[in-house]
């Protein structure tokens, strides 16, 4: 139901199906080298570890995690998890073949990065022409060479465990403990794939490191485990996912990301999540930030049926800083339950949470956040801004912030606004010749701008395009 009379009447059915269909999507056929029986057991967990040739301590950790998973209750907040049939889910426990894509399907942002890394022309041609397929192994190889010169380690998590067991043991499950929540326990038991990154002291990794490149022998899995260690004074930016939509034959994605930001280090973790609309995306992300360290989470949630994700920072050292910038878009049949957690343990720590959400076509966007300022965290400052746009009368927006202040020499500010796209703004843009949906898209982009400008340009451009496409589907 549009506010403005249309000159051309579009076929309502066609329009509806356009907005519902997944235009960007394509399905690759996955080849499963091994598929487990339904459900999960301690024996299967042990088998998994054996097959991967893991050290004993990791196997024990997995088994402990599994028994915790069985004991713990489901989260009693957030979205509706009742539809997940835990028995029926196939847990992928063994390596599968590489994901191959054609050169044309590689997102522009990635292509630009090839230029930056300096992939030789011959290789580019090979990627584009002869095989008509692109193998990320080659790209990944070039990237690794330039990084290892600086002492930077960027491996798949399985490889990381093999090559740097002591380092992994020091931090694995220390930032997100096994019993943190049921989904994290599950991940700890059956994790496979993910990234392991170590940046040495004072090294600045100028190029964003991308999960996209790291797709090697492990599948882009459901239970990825990522561990990033940024040593003192270092700088690194990691990008997970990409705006290309991800089709997952598994409908449960329960990842865990642990990050340790050591003194004076700066880490940025950007996620653009665009899982297909059947996926349950339940992720635990947490960073432990030491003195004068800075952590920034940029979280773009566009896909999935249900996302529950609250990137968190534990601000453990003096003057540590944490930021979460979150964009969530919930369309028909979607529930984005996202937000952030900031825990201030030390003096003069600062945090900022900016959340922008859009719900349309019956979607539900929920902001769920927590700011906790502990006793002793004198001089701590926190600011939270959560704004929501509800585009039509079928959609819904919720805000559930929890601000717990146990120290008085602090300041906390929290603001939230819920609105729709203003008629005056729409009219103004339309009077300058823009059709309604374009005007709406422009206004929505303006709404998201404060966060978009913090994302590297190529990704911001991609995200903007995605938003526009999502907007095109909705006709007022």
List contacts with another protein (CB under 8 A). Answer: 375, 388, 390-393, 395-420
Torsion angle (degrees, nearest 10) of CA 75, 80, 86, 90 = -110
CB of 414 to another protein, least distance (A): 4
CB of 402 to another protein, least distance (A): 5
E strands, 191-320, are 195-199, 209-210, 225-230, 235-240, 252-253, 256-261, 266-273, 280-289, 294-301, 306-309, 312-315
CB-nearer residue toward another protein: 174 or 394:
394
- Interatomic CA distance for residues 346 and 265, integer angstroms: 17
CB-nearer residue toward another protein: 137 or 409:
409
CB-nearer residue toward another protein: 217 or 411:
411
Tell me how crowded residue 207 is: count the other CB atoms within 10 A of its CB: 13
Helix axes 457-473, 108-117, angle to 10 degrees: 170
Torsion angle (degrees, nearest 10) of CA 89, 91, 95, 99 = 30
Q: Please, which residues have CB within 8 angstroms of residue 215's CB and are 6 or more apart in sequence?
A: 98, 99, 136, 140
CB-nearer residue toward another protein: 396 or 465:
396
> Which ranges of 78-181 does DSSP label H, i.e. alpha helix?
108-117, 121-128, 136-148, 157-163, 165-171
CB of 357 to another protein, least distance (A): 11
CB of 409 to another protein, least distance (A): 6
CB-nearer residue toward another protein: 159 or 398:
398
CB of 339 to another protein, least distance (A): 12
CB-nearer residue toward another protein: 232 or 398:
398
Q: Can you read off the two tokens belonging to residue 323? A: 């930021």
CB of 336 to another protein, least distance (A): 14
**Which region holds residue 323: left if phi is over 0, alpha if psi is between -120 and 50, else beta?**
beta
CB-nearer residue toward another protein: 117 or 412:
412
CB of 393 to another protein, least distance (A): 5
CA 64 to chain centre: 27
Q: How many residues does the chain have?
A: 476
CB of 291 to another protein, least distance (A): 16
CB-nearer residue toward another protein: 216 or 349:
349
């Amino acid at each position: 139901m549009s506010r403005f009379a249309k000159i051309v009447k579009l076929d309502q059915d066609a329009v509806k199906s356009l907005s519902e269909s997944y235009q960007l999507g394509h399905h690759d056929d996955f080849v499963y080298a091994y598929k487990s029986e339904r459900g999960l057991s301690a024996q299967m967990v042990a088998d998994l570890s054996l097959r991967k040739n893991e050290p004993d301590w990791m196997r024990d950790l997995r088994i402990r995690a599994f028994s915790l998973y069985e004991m713990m209750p489901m989260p009693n907040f957030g979205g509706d998890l009742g539809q997940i049939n835990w028995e029926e889910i196939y847990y992928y426990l063994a390596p599968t073949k590489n994901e191959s894509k054609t050169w044309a399907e590689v997102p522009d942002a990635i292509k630009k990065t090839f230029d930056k890394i300096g992939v030789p022309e011959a290789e580019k041609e090979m990627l584009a022409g002869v095989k008509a397929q692109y193998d990320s192994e080659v790209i990944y190889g070039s990237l690794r060479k330039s990084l290892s010169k600086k002492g930077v380690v960027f491996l798949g998590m399985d490889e990381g465990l093999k090559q740097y067991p002591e380092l992994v043991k020091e931090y694995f499950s220390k930032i997100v403990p096994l019993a943190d929540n049921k989904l994290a326990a599950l991940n700890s038991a059956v994790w496979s794939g993910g990234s392991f990154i170590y940046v040495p002291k004072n090294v600045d990794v100028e190029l964003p490191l991308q999960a996209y490149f790291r797709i090697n022998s492990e599948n882009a899995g459901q239970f990825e485990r990522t561990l990033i260690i940024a040593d003192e004074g270092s700088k690194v930016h990691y990008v997970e996912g990409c705006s290309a939509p991800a089709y997952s034959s598994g409908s449960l994605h329960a990842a865990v990301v642990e990050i340790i930001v050591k003194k004076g280090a700066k880490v940025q973790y950007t996620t653009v999540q665009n899982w297909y609309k059947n996926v349950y995306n339940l992720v635990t992300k947490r960073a432990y930030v030491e003195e004068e360290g800075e952590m920034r989470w940029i979280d773009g949630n566009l896909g999935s049926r249900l996302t529950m994700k609250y990137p968190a920072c534990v601000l453990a050292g003096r003057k540590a800083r944490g930021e979460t910038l979150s964009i969530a878009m919930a369309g028909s049949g979607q529930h984005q339950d996202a937000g952030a957690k900031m825990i201030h343990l030390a003096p003069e720590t600062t945090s900022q949470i900016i959340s922008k959400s859009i719900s349309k076509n019956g979607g539900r966007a929920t902001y769920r956040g927590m700011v906790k300022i502990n006793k002793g965290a004198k001089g701590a400052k926190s600011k939270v801004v959560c704004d929501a746009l509800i585009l039509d009368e079928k959609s819904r927006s919720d805000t559930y912030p929890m601000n717990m202040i146990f120290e008085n020499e602090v300041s906390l500010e929290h603001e939230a606004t819920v609105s729709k796209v203003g008629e005056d703004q729409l009219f103004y843009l339309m009077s300058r010749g823009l059709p309604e949906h374009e005007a709406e898209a422009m206004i929505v982009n303006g709404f998201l701008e404060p966060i978009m400008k913090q994302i590297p340009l190529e990704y911001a451009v991609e995200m903007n395009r995605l938003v526009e496409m999502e907007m095109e589907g909705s006709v007022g």
